[in-house]
Structure 1
């Protein structure tokens, strides 16, 4: 059998409806990890669906409890073909966000996969059930035609990514031998554009923290006390404005990133965002001046206000509220020191005369970025270009955040991500969908990647 035959069979897997049938079965598992009663569904997805699917491909698998008992389990699967062969660790997450059932306007709701033109609607179709289903199917295609992969594979599926991957770092720290590999190849997140195969090598980090200003025990009539009492809503709004201005520029020196490395700038040249149908219109005057679109979203830090509350927004009254609170969100790149974020923000506020604002200890997911010149990266890019006839986009890191620090820092792996969705897929919202043309192409390029890996193995770095 030839490489071309393998790619044709991968396309046939989609065209026959087999891929949609597999994904439909997986979408039906109500694995919303944010729901307190989701435990049985999360466990069933691993034990009854993914585990048996991998077992048919010659994998052994086991289910492991989460080190944090309140959260869902992990699946580890392994297919070992030889001690002298490289080992690839693959990753996915079986959990999804809440269904938001009543808000869907397309398809048949979150838990029933519905095909409408080129869109496959259903919760998890894009994030992440559709993506790891593509990778499992690509492995199956190579095995069906060649009988072997020519490399070893391990899978790690978690069920808590949508709640911040609780227990993942502890699990990987405790099971480093079980998860030992030479590289991570995984799929999550969006392509730069629907027709642009994309590879990214890490992700921006994320830090969530709150600002709280409590001034008094209750509200006071604005007619009697306005002009005499500080309004916490007004004070906190001005405090935030001192941190990030009306154009999105960060003014806290300790929250700004280091200069963009030259090879990162080179990799991002010419990339644009927001050109796909359904994408929001990019605001040209927003963000750090002097940077390109790609540099702002991939290679720079951003500070956002996620939510802001003072008084009672649903039933406002003519009273000065007693307190205000803002939930802040910072995306940051490699080289940003977030170890002292709370102190840095507190010092900035004090220096600008904003006393009494409490800064919470941030919840942090760390930033990662693999060297674009790594041999695993060069191999992946060449394979994808051969399969698609398109030069893939290389992002030094994703603009969003993934638990990639666990794989890069704890397991010590070079990390190569090949996303199979696109930016307007509406993940985390009603009407989430996977694009059929993207899924079909992804099945082919991942089949080509796995087909090529055996031949490339002698030249790939090993741990």
Structure 2
């Protein structure tokens, strides 16, 4: 019974084709949570794939309906071995974004894993089916070698992450005692680079808001009324330019973050962004001046215009449009005054002369960031380095947004995210894929992490 033997079992699971077979079966289930008719498949994924895998290693599982009516279900599982051992909460999601089947290339399809060299294609394979499949397989390797896990494990698994995780925080709130643990270990999102094992400790928050401006007179002939009636599209374009300038710099002072803390700057300042093969070239002179690209992605705020509309672009007519609107997104780090976003945006627009624009907040989620000096961070770094022989890239937070607030704040856990994808995986797009070398390494390092959780020298319990 040894760590080395457990890693060997995990490696054999991958190289034998068993892992590919499991992943192919899971990708074949079109678990698109946005579809109103997806409920049977969402339940089936939990019962046939997740619950059956967990029961084999001694978990007691329960599939629970969402506290939000009509939303996808959850699975709660527990394996308690000893009150004297640490307790780890695991998380994953089995739902995927729209398959976009007609847009995949080279005769690929979203619901069949296609292996092309080192790339494995399929919808949801990066987000999140390969990632949670790796973690479940790593647990099974430790259990097979040790005869037990060596620690207590709990899991909350959802099927609605791609529709905003409805009910997840309410579930954590109502099951606070049942889900009590010392830390969260979960996998989602990309590594910082494909060949760099990565840990991130939280995520930037995200806030979506809509701007709407209307011409009270309705659409009017541009020859008869141009120059004397305000054009909603022109007003909106200039309002957007007052929020974020032509170099991508936020101009609303109240929605800028506090100065980057020294311990965060130290971790991210010299990381490379966009250095993997296939990554897009970075735009020169874009974003907050005086920051490195990594500081802009991982330690600062960004404001993006996601969509805008006025008139009919496919069939324009010579008329001042009746209305114009845009949907924007603020990605923000810890310390941003995001709860006052509507007030701050409205006041800014009024100061700039745009007091007739309606501001609506449509969705939001808080930013989180575990202290990089937390002892669980050092534990995870040591374990991964022992399994891979590589230095670990530590990100104080992910540049994107994941449902970490309920774990960090509601459950008050140390949160350790270990991603198994890479930046070029095309998640949420046609031709989504994962890299076989990354998955092989991830299965090894996760087996090592779970093995080490059963050893005596773990951090003190919270």
TM range (shorter): over 0.9
- Shift in Å, 1:124: 1.0
How far apart, in 1, do the equivalents of 2:158 and 2:345 lie?
34
Mark the runs of 5 or more structure 1 residues left unpaired by the alignment: none
- Shift in Å, 1:5: 2.2
- Shift in Å, 1:106: 4.3
Mark the runs of 5 or more structure 2 residues left unpaired by the alignment: none
Runs of 4+ in 1 over 4 A off after TM superposition: none
Matching residue of 2:425: 425
3-state SS, counterpart of residue 95 of structure 1:
coil
2:379/2:458 contact within 8 Å kept: no
1:107/1:431 contact within 8 Å kept: no
Bigger mean CA deviation after superposition, 128-137 or 276-285: 276-285
How far apart, in 1, do the equivalents of 2:82 and 2:91 lie?
21
Cα RMSD (Å)? 1.0
Cα deviation digits, residues 254-300 of structure 1 (max 9, x gap): 11000000000011132011111121111121100000111000000
3-state SS, counterpart of residue 128 of structure 1:
helix
Matching of residues 49-448 of structure 1 within 5 Å: 49-106=49-106, 108-448=108-448
1:107/1:116 contact within 8 Å kept: no
1:232/1:322 contact within 8 Å kept: yes
- Shift in Å, 1:307: 0.1
How far apart, in 2, do the equivalents of 1:361 and 1:397 lie?
24
Q: 1:405 to 1:106 in 2, by over 3 A?
A: farther
1:88/1:154 contact within 8 Å kept: yes
3-state SS, counterpart of residue 211 of structure 1:
strand
Matching residue of 2:461: 462
3-state SS, counterpart of residue 126 of structure 2:
coil
3-state SS, counterpart of residue 340 of structure 1:
helix
TM-score scaled by length of structure 2? 0.98
Cα deviation digits, residues 157-178 of structure 1 (max 9, x gap): 1111111111111111011111
Q: 1:300 to 1:332 in 2, by over 3 A?
A: same
3-state SS, counterpart of residue 454 of structure 2:
helix
How far apart, in 2, do the equivalents of 1:145 and 1:379 lie?
22
3-state SS, counterpart of residue 112 of structure 2:
coil
How far apart, in 2, do the equivalents of 1:317 and 1:14 lie?
59
How far apart, in 1, do the equivalents of 2:233 and 2:415 lie?
44
- Shift in Å, 1:8: 2.1
3-state SS, counterpart of residue 361 of structure 1:
strand
How far apart, in 2, do the equivalents of 1:71 and 1:171 lie?
12
Cα deviation digits, residues 395-417 of structure 1 (max 9, x gap): 00000001100000000100000
Q: 1:107 to 1:192 in 2, by over 3 A?
A: farther
3-state SS, counterpart of residue 274 of structure 1:
coil
How far apart, in 2, do the equivalents of 1:31 and 1:421 lie?
19
TM-score scaled by length of structure 1? 0.98
- The number of aligned residues is 462
Matching residue of 2:45: 45
- Shift in Å, 1:93: 0.5
- Shift in Å, 1:251: 0.7
How far apart, in 1, do the equivalents of 2:203 and 2:372 lie?
13
How far apart, in 2, do the equivalents of 1:314 and 1:171 lie?
45
- Shift in Å, 1:389: 0.7
How far apart, in 1, do the equivalents of 2:114 and 2:419 lie?
22
Matching residue of 1:452: 452
